[in-house]
Structure 1
Amino acid sequence: MEDSTTYADSRKVVSVAAGEAHTLALTGDGSVYSWGRGTFGRLGTGSEADRLFPSKIEFSSADRGEMVKIVGVSAGAYHSLALSDDGSVWSWGHNTYGQLGVNDENSLVPSLVKGFHGISQTDGSTTKSEKRLKISSVKAGGMMSVAIDDLGSLWIWGNCPSQDTPNEGEEFTLLATHTPLPVWDFHGQIVVKVACGNEHIVALVNSDVTHEGGGDLVCYSWGNNNHGQLGLGDTEVRAAPQMIKTFNTESSWAAYELACGAFHTSILAYKKGDGDFLKSVCWTFGLGENGQLGQGTSKKALHPEIVKSLPVNVWLISIDCGLFHTSVVSSVGDVWSWGMGNGLGLCYEESEGGDALTPRVISCNGQDGSNFPGPIQVACGAAHTVLVADNGYKVWSWGRGRSGVLGNGQVVDFFDLNLVLWPPLDQDFENNEPQTINVTNNDITYEEKSSKDLTEIEKELYIMESYASILHGSIFGRPFEKANDIPVSLMKSGSFDVGKSWDEMLESCDSDTLVRLEMFYRNMLVGLKDKIMKRKIKGMVNECLESSTYTH
């Protein structure tokens, strides 16, 4: 089949996922990129080395003899999942609890999960067919993995909640399995969406059991409930899925999106019969000691409660939970974050302030009320957040930066917006041969030495502008804005005094900007000193080798 993907598809991010300290990005052409901490092989690059910039993951399909096109990604704490367009599931990273779906050690590269087969249950016995089921959705939790097949059945593997309810006095337990197991409680129903935390699972299930669709989506939860993260009004463990009353068939609220943190849950819902599908609300419940519920308190919530500080006239399109923080995005590009470390996910000693008990606005370009154009999705890791906007052509990040988790080439924390190095540098100019540009009577003609045309020249100009913006963001902590950031002396003449413009810019900087400049300078200086030292050592070695030659 002919590949109809375009250059734009390869540069457009359609989905992101964040793990404990790594990030995955899926592009429109079915490619996957990763960056951040590489321990356990969670990046899928073939090594455990950290990656400070997005790196492409290779999917080997020698057994099928065709290219693998990925259509979905998800990240657990230390492992990653991907879904291909043929319904196959790929996994890599940490596998101590079998969360990769293979009976093997940790994997540094994607491996094919082969455990999905048609299963029927009659009279207590289970029959397994040879027909391989196609998977339509994957999701990774802390140390577990879940998937929905094309029939709407739910599968689970890894460190899963035990299906046996503990006796009085017994503690909640998790059972490890590398074999994907069906959740029989939903047999005959259609599971639409699922999310999982460290020890609990939440699912949206179609109430219409006729497989014709059209029924309300009802919400179920099960697993550990020590902080009320199941939203059932108590802290009792549930071994089997139980319906959350706030989102059952009789409820006036219809849930359409869900996310799980370590021990809290967030749900997006709209009011049934309201007629206005441009308005929705965010509900939260579970652990709240770091403000991750956004309720203005650090108390836990056993029932779902509305985050009242969010505007009531918005449609929320994306939500995600980190370990102890939550972020949400509206259809017009409003972004809010709350929880640990002022909503950044950082610990007290790492952050500029305390926890955010209510939603704080994350503004584009550092301006109040400035929305992100073309919002797509938000993803929360343990202590970092990633936002895709500009219709998928720009990716922002903030929070903890160690191991390169922010994708900007640095390993320092960013308390403000930071642009991820996107599109990836190593992909932009590969195989590009030089070309000659002739200017005659103000007409530009191109003597091509490759197959480039004017459109490809424009691509390179766009890429150059992107990297200029990233460099500017690395220095000043915000994206490059042509109207505001180009020195006046440059705009008014063909040349300008660099030194004078630099002095004028420093004079106009506030204290925070000067501090960021100082940090950038120190990091750059360290790198220069390393280079100088390496060259000195190399020179000394060469001198020794030369003297040794003369001696003998």
Structure 2
Amino acid sequence: MMAEQEAGSLKKKKKIIAIAAGEAHTLALTSDGQVYTWGRGTFGRLGNASDLDQLFPLNINFTDQNDSVKITGISAGAYHSLALADDGSLWSWGYNAYGQLGFDGDNSSVPCLVKLPKAGNETERKVSLVKSGGMMSLAVDDIGSLWMWGNCSVQGNSSESEFILDPTPTPMSVDFYGHTVVKVACGSEHIAALVNGEGGDLVCYTFGNNNHGQLGLGDTNMRPNPQMVDKFNARSLWKAYEVACGAFHTCVLTYKRTQSVPLESLCWTFGRGNNGQLGQGTTKNSLYPEIVDKLPENVLLVSVACGLFHTSVVSSSGNVWSWGMENGLGLCPEATFTEGDGGDALSPRLINDVSGPRFSEPVQVACGAAHTVILADGGYKLWSWGRGRSGVLGNGQEADFFSPKAVLWPPPNVEGPETVANNPVVEKDPEEATEIEKKLSVMMDEMNLLHSKLRIMERYASILHGSIFGKPFEEDKDIPLSLQNSGTFDITKEWENMLESCDRGKLIRLQMFYRNMLAGVEDKMMKQRIKEMLKEYLGSSTSTNH
């Protein structure tokens, strides 16, 4: 009985309650207040005191004067991350060129405390919600006021013809005319918020850049201050309950106001649509909110997320639909698809798991620039798909996957009664478990070292390849077939194949490259020969004089 309770306790610690995705990194928050990150490590965005990439989830260390910190909320911008603790404190890490970490200084590879300006009575403001996007950060305090910092639009400007970004590390409050903010989202240069309206209903406001109509106000004029979107006002038939922002588009989930509880949803989008990210069956922009095309009727959508140029939603029954750039996968224009599978998805397409089209007990969907993550099984399992470079999919690989693949959860260094493949294992005594943990730790260190060496070799190969061919090295295209298939490399044969495939321009480039190289070698040889002749002459001259 005691063993079962202990196993249940361990399983509870591994439950994930929230996920977030940045440009090429992913965050997961567990029910016991731990944060795990994986993906690209540049700028310190993973918060693990390193710039190295991480191929599967790794725990972040939060400390405040030697006290443990329990995290209750997370969010990811393009290259930075935010976390909210249960005591109302705010943490940030990653890229800080625009002050999006909330302080003036360099990037940070570890979590740092962010202080909101004190209230009038000099008490510390407590944060209840965090959100980040692009190069900006947002926080809602405990009285419902919104604060923003980083690469933000200038407020208070009466002109609606010019959009100005004013990078600032100091959180600034946003006036919502006395309304309290309940939910908020931000794109590259715009913000959308759901605020309490009359009778407690949520009303949608937007502000910021509007060059593609992403504010949903019927024009392309920027708004320095929040303005209500008429489609989702207090008198509308449709009541908004979720909002998400892509780079230049916005998505709002609604249900009928006549329903006491949400029973069926409508998904509305507006803004830039050139890659089908609006899901309206076209590549046109939309200045007003319009209903997403071809989503099934009578479904309840429980979560929505936007990448740069793609959008995903998940229903209460576990179906996931995506649309936008490259078949709804996001920013993957270089991806190699099978015949007929490529191109942008202008309408929602159903995402299938290996076991079927549904993910049981769905919790949340999150979109990065070019990857998508779904949290399901009540918070105990993760799947991801899209661009896999730098390990952003969390499955231990760096390959692209065009259908869902399980994230390594729990990761190899997390205790628990289950293996990575979620199969039961025989319980071990504490000493044996400790020894296994040590071996896993050594293995992870070796993997990180090998990964670092591979990155250096990739850069070296890319430099050489660029010098010869005038373009960066592409792993999928430029590795010879003989090396890919057999592991052996016939340099003479591959050289002949390369010359055979070159057009006149490439042959001329090669000729110039090797001509310059040969000239350099001959010049160096000539200089060395001159030195040798001078040395011989001086030596013989000295002996003659003697």
TM-score, normalising length: structure 2: 0.74
Instruction: Work out which of the residue numbers 252, 273, 296 in structure 2 matches 1:267.
Output: 252
Q: Retained in 1: the 8 A contact 2:162–2:222?
A: no
Q: Is the 8 A contact 2:212 2:248 kept in 1?
A: yes
| Match in the other structure for 1:467 | none
User: Can you list the C-alpha shifts for 1:32-51, whole angstroms capped at 9, x where unaligned?
Assistant: 00000011100000011100
d(CA) in 1 for partners of 2:48 and 2:90? 17
- The residue type paired with residue 83 of structure 2 is A
Match of 2:74 in 1: 73
Aligned equivalent of 1:398, options 361, 378, 385: 385
User: 1:239 corresponds to which residue?
Assistant: 224
Q: Which residue of 2 aligns with 1:203?
A: 193
Structure 1: how far apart are the matches of 2:98 and 2:208?
17
**1:28-82 CA deviation, whole Å, 9 max, x = no partner?**
11000000001110000001110011110001211xx421000000000000000
1:43 to 11, 32, 46: 46
* Partners of 2:485 and 2:32 in 1: CA distance: 35
Structure 1 runs, 4 residues or longer, greater than 2 Å off: 164-168, 274-277, 346-349, 448-453, 522-526
Alpha-carbon distance change, 450 to 282 in structure 1, aligned in 2, over 3 angstroms? same
Q: Letter of the aligned partner of 1:38 in structure 2?
A: G
Q: How far apart in 1 are the matches of 2:142 and 2:13?
A: 27
SS at match of 2:182: strand
The sequence identity of aligned pairs, in percent, is 61
CA distance 1:326–1:524, shift in 2 (3 Å): farther
**Change beyond 3 A, Cα 1:255–1:351:** farther
Number of the residue aligned with 1:288? 273
SS of structure 2 residue aligned to 1:136: strand
- Indicate how the Cα distance of structure 1 residues 71 and 351 shifts in structure 2: closer, same or farther if over 3 A, else same: farther
Structure 1 counterpart of 2:184 = 194
Q: CA deviation at 1:363?
A: 1.6
Spell out, residue by residue over 1:418-445, the C-alpha distance to the aligned partner (whole angstroms, 9 max, x if none).
Answer: 1111101012379x9xxxxxxxxxxxx9
Partner residue in 2 for 1:442: none
Over 3 Å counting, the alpha-carbon distance change for 1:135 and 1:425 in structure 2 is: same
SS of 1:314 mapped into structure 2:
coil
CA contact (8 A) 1:80 1:92 kept: yes
2:354 to 350, 365, 368: 365
Cα 1:400/1:73, change in 2 over 3 Å? same
User: Contact (CA 8 Å) 1:343, 1:356: kept in 2 or not?
Assistant: yes
- Kept after mapping to 1: 8 A contact 2:238/2:256: yes
**Aligned-partner Cα distance in 1 for 2:106–2:385:** 32
**Alpha-carbon contact 1:366-1:417 (below 8 Å) kept:** no
Tell me the residue number matched to 1:485. Answer: none
Residues 270 and 78 (structure 1 numbering): CA distance in 2 closer, same or farther, change over 3 Å?
Answer: same
Q: Structure 1 residues 327 and 449, CA, compared in 2 at 3 Å: closer, same or farther?
A: closer
Task: Name the counterpart of 1:55.
Answer: 58
**Distance 1:77-1:449 versus aligned 2 partners, 3 A rule:** closer
Q: Does 1:181 align with 2:166?
A: no
Say if 2:301 is the partner of 1:298: no
Which blocks of at least 5 consecutive residues in structure 2 are unaligned? 1-7, 420-425, 438-475, 477-482, 488-546
Secondary structure at the residue paired with 2:326? coil
Distance 2:379 2:416 in 1: 21
Q: Judge conservation of contact 1:24–1:35 (CA < 8 Å) in 2.
A: yes
Partner of 2:535: none
Contact 1:385 1:398 survives alignment (8 Å): yes
Q: Quick one: distance in 1 between partners of 2:416 and 2:201?
A: 50
Q: Corresponding residue for 1:162?
A: 154
1:459-513 residue CA offsets vs partner (Å, 9 max, x unmatched): x9xxxxxxxxxxxxxxxxxxxxxxxxxxxxxxxxxxxxxxxxxxxxxxxxxxxxx
For the 8 Å contact 1:6–1:29, the answer to whether it is kept is no
Distance 1:403 1:236 in 2: 38
C-alpha offsets along residues 11-38 of structure 1, whole Å, 9 cap, x if unaligned? 1111000000000000111000000001
Match in the other structure for 2:208: 223
- Which residue does the alignment assign to 1:412? 399
Name 2:89's counterpart in structure 1: 88
Contact 2:17–2:29 under 8 Å retained in 1? yes
- Higher-Rg structure is 2
Structure 2 match to 1:151: 143
Quick one: which amino acid aligns to residue 151 of structure 1? I
SS of match in other structure, 2:354 = helix
- Contact 1:314–1:330 (Cα < 8 Å) also in 2: yes
Q: CA 1:33–1:289 in structure 2 vs 1: closer, same or farther (change >3 Å)?
A: same
Given the superposition, is the C-alpha separation of residues 9 and 250 from structure 1 closer, same or farther in structure 2, using an over 3 Å criterion? same
| Contact 1:342 1:351 (8 Å CA) reproduced | no
SS across alignment from 1:360: strand
CA contact (8 A) 1:228 1:302 kept: yes
Offset at residue 250 of structure 1 (A)? 1.3
Cα distance in 2 between the residues matched to 1:380 and 1:402: 15
- The 3-state SS of whatever aligns with 1:365 is coil
The reply to whether residue 380 of structure 1 matches residue 367 of structure 2 is: yes
Cα distance in 1, alignment partners of residues 311 and 47 from structure 2:
27
CA contact (8 A) 2:320 2:358 kept: yes
- Is 1:423 the counterpart of 2:399? The answer is no
Following TM superposition, by how much is the alpha carbon of 1:311 offset from its aligned partner in structure 2, in angstroms?
1.1
In the alignment, structure 1 segments of 5+ residues that lack a partner are: 119-127, 209-213, 433-444, 454-459, 461-514, 516-521, 527-552
The normalised TM-score by structure 1 is 0.73
User: Considering only aligned residues, what root-mean-square deviation do their CA atoms show, in Å?
Assistant: 2.8
State the alpha-carbon separation in 1 of the partners of residues 394 and 328 from structure 2: 19
Aligned length: 427
Can you list the C-alpha shifts for 1:214-252, whole angstroms capped at 9, x where unaligned? 511110000000000000000001011000000011111
Amino acid in structure 2 at the alignment position of 1:150 = D
Q: What's 1:493 paired with?
A: none
In 1, the alpha carbon distance for the partners of 2:485 and 2:125 equals: 52
**Contact 2:48 2:61 (8 Å CA) reproduced:** yes
| Residue in 1 that maps onto 2:108 | 107
Aligned to 2:451: none
The reply on whether 1:138 has 2:130 as its aligned counterpart is yes
| Residues 117 and 300 of structure 1, relative CA distance in 2, 3 Å threshold | same
Q: Give the alignment partner of residue 344 of structure 1, picking from 329, 334, 337.
A: 329
Which residue among 4, 21, 27 is the counterpart of 1:18? 21
